[in-house]
Chains A and B, each alone.
Chain A
Amino acid sequence: MTNNVSSKIKNISTLQYKEKEFEYWGPTPDEARKKMVNKSHALKDKRVTLKEAVAAHVKDGINLGIGGFVNTRVPVAIIHEIIRHGGRDLTLSFQSNSICPELLAGAMVLDPDRLSIKRVELAWWGYEIIGIAPLVRYLATNGMIEMDDYTNYGMSARFKAASMGIPFIPVRDHGGSDMELVNRGKMIECPFTGKNIYLLPACHPDVGIVHTTAADMYGNARIFGAYCTCPEIAMAATSTIMTTEKIISTDSIRSYPNLTEIPYPVVDTVTEQPYGSYPGASYGYYWFDMDHMKMFRSLCDDFRKTGNKEGLKKYYDEYIFSCETYDDFLEKVGYKNLKKLKDMDGGQSIILT
C-alpha cells in the first residue's frame, strides 16, 4: 500500500504487483462493534447441531476466520458442514492452515457454484512435513484467487486488534519486505519516537470458526495446548461458531474462571463434537492423522498435475456429501484409527473438572 512515510523498500526484488486501494475485507470496526452491541449478552444455552449453526451464519460473500494452526486444533468438522451447506465468494482469513482451506479449495474445484473462494488474507497455507498444499498453488498460479500476505504474527495481531476493539495495531514486522508493498498495512512515523512503524488494519471476520478443548453450554471455552490464535479470532468475529471436544459444567467454569480463554458473549453457537479437528490434532485428546492428510493431499496433487478430478470427487462424495454429520464421517474413519491417534497424544494434561 502507498505510504505516507517510506521505508527503503524499493527495487530490492524484481516484484511486479498491482497497487490496491485500501478496503476492509470484512466488517469495518464500526460495523463489528454495532453487531456485538446488538447481540443478546445473556447466559443462554447455545448448543445446536452444526447444521443449524452453519445454516444460521454462513452466507455468500462473508469473511470466514479459520482457527487452529497448520494441523493443530483446526475446525475440520465445521469446514465439512460449510462444504455441505455451500457459500460463494468467500474471503478466508487465517494465519497458517493446512487441510481447512484445502478442503474449501477442493470444493471450489469440484463445484464453484456451490462453494467458491474469492480471496485470502493469510500468512501461510501448506502441510509442513507432508508437503506443499497443491490447491493453493493451483488457484493462485492460475490467478483464480486474490492473495494478501502477512506474517503469522501479522495475521494474529490483526485478529488481536479486532478483538481489542481497535482499528489497527503497530507491529515490528512486514516493513522492508515486499509484504509492505502488496498487503494492506501502512508505514507511518510514530508520533512519539519519530521512527517508522508499520500498522496493520484490524481483521474482523463475519464468521469465526474455532474448535476448543472444552466449553460450557454458554460458550465459555478452555483451550489446552497452544492457543494458536483462537481466542483472538473468536473475539474478533461478528459471529463465532464453536465446536468443542467436550461440554463441561458451568460450575467447573466458575470454579476456575482463569482457565476460560474465550468468554461466552462472543460465542454464538456451541456444538460438542469429539474428534472435531480430525485429521488434525487436539492436545489432550488425539494426535494428527498423517496418513489421512497424505491421502487427501495426494488426491489434490493428482488433480493439480493431471486436471483429473475423479479422485477428489470420490473423496468428497465418500467423506463429506454422503455424510449427514461429522460422526458419520468418523464412523468411516473407524474406531481403530481414532484409538491409535488417541494413544499417540500420550495423555497431555488437560483440566475438565
Chain B
Amino acid sequence: MSEYTPFEMIAYTGSRVLEDERIVFVGTGLPIIAAMHAQLTHAPNLYMIYEAGSLAPILEMGMPLSVGDTRAARKACYLKGLCGAFELTQRGCADYAFIGGAQVDMYGNICSTIEGNNYDKPGIRFPGSGGAGAMAANCEKTIAIMALEKRRFVKKLDFVTSIGFGDGSPDYREKAGVLGSGPYRVITNQALFGFDEETKRMMLLEVKPGRTPQEIQDLVDFDLIIPPDVKEMAEPTDEDLRLLRDVIDAEGYFLKRVIKK
C-alpha cells in the first residue's frame, strides 16, 4: 500500500460515498475530484451538475478549476445558467450536495459566512454561501468535507449558512420550507461521519486505520454518537492514487496544496 495524503484520502472517501446512476451537485476542488474518481471507477453512470449552469459535461479538457470554469461546460447535455441548475435541483434532479465550510455542528449545520458572531462587524468575513446554502436545502442528501479540528467541529456555529437538521427537531427542515432530506455524510481525512436517524446527531461511522474512536472524539467539541460497530475507512489503492494524481488532478491544483496551519 502506497502512502497517501490527507487530501487524497478525502477525495477517495468522497468517491466511495457516491452511488452510480445519481447526479451530484459539485463544489470546487475535492468534490469535483471525488466525483471524477467515482465516474472512472465504481459509478460510470454518475453525473455532475455545476451551478454556473451545466449538467453532465464530459470533462475532456481536464478538471475544471472552479464550478464556473468554462471547461465545466464542455459537451454538457444541458447548459443554462444558475437559475437552470438550481431549479433542476429544487425539482428533485440533484441527489447529492457536495459542499465544504468553516464550521459544522452536531446537527450538520454549516457556517461559511463569518467567524466571530457579529454579522455587522465580523472577526473574519468568508466569501459567503455561494451555492452551498441552496445545495444543502434542496439536493436530496448533503455531503460535507471538513478539516477534523476542534475549532471546526463546534457546539454552536457563529452563523448558520447551510441548513442541516437545525436544532435536531424532527420538523425543523419542513418548517424551514426546504426540500432535501438533509445531512448524509461528513468526510474528513481521519473519520467518516453519518447522522443518527432518530436524534439527527452526528455519528461516527468509520475511522482511519490505526485511529480509535476516542481519538476522533478528542478532535470534536460536541459529543459524537459512537456506535459499537465503527468500521475502518478503506484506503486508496495504487490504482486509485494513479487516477487521482496522474489522470484527474495531474497538475496538482488541489491534491498538492500545502495545508496552512
- Interface on A for B, CB 8 Å cutoff? 6-18, 69-72, 95-96, 122-126, 128-129, 132-133, 136-137, 140-143, 146-147, 149-154, 156-157, 160, 171-180, 182, 187, 195-198, 225-232, 281-283, 287-288, 290, 345-346, 348
Which residues from A are CB-within-8-Å of B247?
none
CB B96 to nearest CB in A, in angstroms, measures 16
From B48-56, B207-215, B217-225, B227-235, the one touching the partner chain is B48-56
Compute how far the CA of A143 lies from the CA of B119 in the bound complex, rounded to whole angstroms: 9
Chain A proximity mask over B137-163: 1 for CB below 8 Å, otherwise 0: 110000000000000000011111111
- Interface on B for A, CB 8 Å cutoff? 28-29, 50-54, 61, 65-74, 79-84, 86-87, 89-90, 105, 109, 111, 113, 117-134, 137-138, 156-163, 166-167, 169, 171-179, 253-254
Contact A173 B127 (CB under 8 A): no
14 contacts between A and B (CB under 8 A): A14-B158, A69-B52, A123-B129, A123-B131, A124-B127, A124-B130, A129-B66, A133-B127, A173-B133, A175-B178, A177-B137, A177-B161, A195-B177, A226-B50
Contact A12 B82 (CB under 8 A): no
Contact A141 B129 (CB under 8 A): no
Compute how far the CA of A15 lies from the CA of B119 in the bound complex, rounded to whole angstroms: 7
Contact A153 B177 (CB under 8 A): no
Contact A228 B134 (CB under 8 A): no
Compute how far the CA of A16 lies from the CA of B114 in the bound complex, rounded to whole angstroms: 11
Q: Which one of A9, A156, A229 lies within 8 Å of B166 (CB-CB)? A: A9
CB B11 to nearest CB in A, in angstroms, measures 15
Given A16-B117, A187-B177, do A153 and B163 touch, yes or no (CB 8 Å)?
no
Given A15-B119, A16-B119, do A227 and B132 touch, yes or no (CB 8 Å)?
no
**Nearest 6 A-B pairs (CB), nearest first?**
A176-B176, A227-B81, A126-B127, A124-B130, A140-B125, A153-B86
Q: Which one of A13, A147, A152, A171 lies within 8 Å of B158 (CB-CB)? A: A13
Closest chain A residue to B113, Cβ basis: A149
Compute how far the CA of A12 lies from the CA of B117 in the bound complex, rounded to whole angstroms: 12
Contact A69 B68 (CB under 8 A): yes
Contact A15 B158 (CB under 8 A): yes
Which residues from A are CB-within-8-Å of B28?
128-129
Contact B122 A228 (CB under 8 A): no
Which residues from B are CB-within-8-Å of A147?
119, 125, 128
Contact A281 B160 (CB under 8 A): no
Compute how far the CA of A227 lies from the CA of B55 in the bound complex, rounded to whole angstroms: 13
Contact B160 A178 (CB under 8 A): yes
Contact B130 A346 (CB under 8 A): no
CB B114 to nearest CB in A, in angstroms, measures 8
Q: A8-B169, A232-B81 are in contact. List 6 more A-B contacts (CB 8 A).
A: A13-B117, A14-B158, A71-B69, A96-B127, A179-B161, A226-B70
Which residues from A are CB-within-8-Å of B109?
12-13, 177
Contact A175 B130 (CB under 8 A): no
Contact A72 B68 (CB under 8 A): yes
Which residues from B are CB-within-8-Å of A231?
81
CB B156 to nearest CB in A, in angstroms, measures 5
Contact A136 B125 (CB under 8 A): yes
Compute how far the CA of A126 lies from the CA of B67 in the bound complex, rounded to whole angstroms: 13
Closest chain A residue to B72, Cβ basis: A226
Compute how far the CA of A182 lies from the CA of B122 in the bound complex, rounded to whole angstroms: 13
Given A9-B166, A13-B160, do A152 and B175 touch, yes or no (CB 8 Å)?
no
Given A13-B157, A177-B163, do A149 and B129 touch, yes or no (CB 8 Å)?
yes
Contact A14 B84 (CB under 8 A): no
CB A293 to nearest CB in B, in angstroms, measures 11
Compute how far the CA of A198 lies from the CA of B29 in the bound complex, rounded to whole angstroms: 30
Q: Which one of A96, A182, A230 lies within 8 Å of B130 (CB-CB)? A: A96
Which residues from A are CB-within-8-Å of B166?
8-9, 12, 176
